[in-house]
């Protein structure tokens, strides 16, 4: 019984070279590197989804608006000395 599945992807030559370079630098195979990258992406995506779900569930209970959140972010960045875009 197989414990893995096979997925074939096509990458532009420059990206394929970068995968090879990083895999070599990390002492991993291409498959190991791409598995790790996907796991990290999937975990980050889950956390974002949870954060957005929490925000949507609680937005009605507060006076938060998209504009007020953006203004708070800009204010915080200015306080930390970061450039505001």
What string of DSSP letters covers 36-62?
Answer: HHHHHHHHHHHHHHHHHHHHHHHGGGS
pLDDT of residue 21: 98
pLDDT of residue 60: 65
pTM for the whole thing? Answer: 0.61
Q: CA 12 → CA 17, 18, 45, 69, 72, distances in Å? A: 9, 10, 24, 38, 40
pLDDT in tens, 6-65: 999 999 999 999 999 999 999 999 999 999 999 999 999 999 999 888 877 777 666 777
3-state secondary structure at position 15: helix
Residue 84 has pLDDT above 60, yes or no: no
pLDDT of residue 85: 58
pLDDT of residue 58: 74
Tokens of 48: 């974002």
């Amino acid at each position: 019984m197989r414990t893995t599945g096979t997925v074939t992807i096509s990458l532009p030559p420059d990206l394929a070279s970068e995968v090879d370079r990083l895999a070599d630098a990390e002492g991993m195979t291409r498959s190991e590197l791409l598995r790790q990258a996907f796991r990290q992406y999937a975990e980050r995506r889950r956390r974002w989804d949870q954060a957005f779900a929490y925000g949507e569930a609680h937005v009605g209970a507060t006076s938060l608006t998209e504009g007020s959140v953006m203004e708070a972010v800009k204010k915080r960045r200015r306080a930390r000395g970061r450039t505001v875009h």
